Amino acid sequence: MGLHIGSIAPDFTQDSTAGTIHFHEWLGSSWGVLFSHPKDFTPVCTTELGRASKLKAEFDKRNVKLLAVSVDNVADHARWVGDIEETQGVKQAFPILGDADRKVASLYDMIHPEANDTLTVRSVFFIDPAKKIRAVITYPASTGRNFAEILRVIDSIQLTDSHSVATPADWKDGDDCVIVPSLQDPEILKRKFPKGWKALKPYLRMTPQPNR
């Protein structure tokens, strides 16, 4: 099944290091980031899980639950978590799904056979509280993800939802934003953007970040 931006994130029930997870129920009214790891006891994944745990408070601030998936069983994960905590100096702060049967990896098309028949690539699914997929990023196994970028994507999507702005190239929190082209009503524009905006072109209107 092709999963696209706007698709409903498939529901599943799967074991994890924090017990059985019924995915939609577990998400509740939170956002979710579901991200895959090629295999337990691999070096890049070990650093990624440590980094994500260190940033847990940043994800909490944004009402985002983190959920990792790796195609090994929970007993292996438990031993691996010991290594992660020892080498990365942080407690594992969110569950890792035991996906030895590849239920979740298959449902989310995380195994790309042209890359590897059995290991997952590094997929990241951003899921909103309506369970809609809002963004997807995919890296090869050899490239560790940038978790600051994952937070930046969440900030951008949440800003679009709350303030009708898009974010330009290389945007970071606090930079000017772009007013979405669909907003044209002058009264609504004035109400939504009391700090004003600069129309560089009729379609390119920059405004200070509205929630700052």
State which of residues 43, 113, 174, 202 lies at the interface with ligand BEZ (CB under 6 A): 43
Nearest 5°: CA angle at 179, between 175 and 182? 160
CA distance linking residue 45 with residue 7, whole number of Å: 27
Of 47 and 63, nearer to ligand BEZ (C-beta) is 47
* CA distance readout (Å), 137 to 12, 103, 140: 21, 20, 10
Q: Any contact of residue 50 with ligand BEZ (CB under 6 A)?
A: no
Q: Any contact of residue 138 with ligand BEZ (CB under 6 A)?
A: no
Q: Any contact of residue 113 with ligand BEZ (CB under 6 A)?
A: no
Q: Any contact of residue 63 with ligand BEZ (CB under 6 A)?
A: no
State which of residues 15, 32, 33, 38 lies at the interface with ligand BEZ (CB under 6 A): 38
State which of residues 42, 63, 73, 106 lies at the interface with ligand BEZ (CB under 6 A): 42
Q: Any contact of residue 93 with ligand BEZ (CB under 6 A)?
A: no
Q: Any contact of residue 81 with ligand BEZ (CB under 6 A)?
A: no
State which of residues 21, 27, 33, 45 lies at the interface with ligand BEZ (CB under 6 A): 45
CA distance linking residue 148 with residue 165, whole number of Å: 20
Which region, judged by CB under 6 A, interacts with ligand BEZ, from 3-11, 38-46, 61-69, 106-114? 38-46
- Distance of closest approach, residue 166 Cβ to ligand BEZ, in angstroms: 33
Which residues, 6 or more positions from 17, have their beta carbon under 8 angstroms from its beta carbon? Answer: 74, 77, 78, 81, 92, 95, 96, 98
H or E element in which residue 70 lies: strand 64-70
Give the active site residues: 45
**Dihedral of the CA atoms 140, 145, 146, 151 (nearest 10)?**
110
Q: Which amino acid is at 135?
A: A
Which residues, 6 or more positions from 86, have their beta carbon under 8 angstroms from its beta carbon? Answer: none
Q: Any contact of residue 73 with ligand BEZ (CB under 6 A)?
A: no
Q: Any contact of residue 141 with ligand BEZ (CB under 6 A)?
A: yes
Which region, judged by CB under 6 A, interacts with ligand BEZ, from 40-48, 63-71, 79-87, 162-170? 40-48
CA distance linking residue 88 with residue 101, whole number of Å: 28
Hey, what are 5's tokens? Answer: 């931006």
Interface with ligand BEZ (CB under 6 A), residue total 8
Say if strands 177-179 and 165-166 run parallel, antiparallel, or are unpaired.
Answer: antiparallel
Binding site residues, ligand BEZ, CB under 6 A: 38-39, 42-45, 141-142
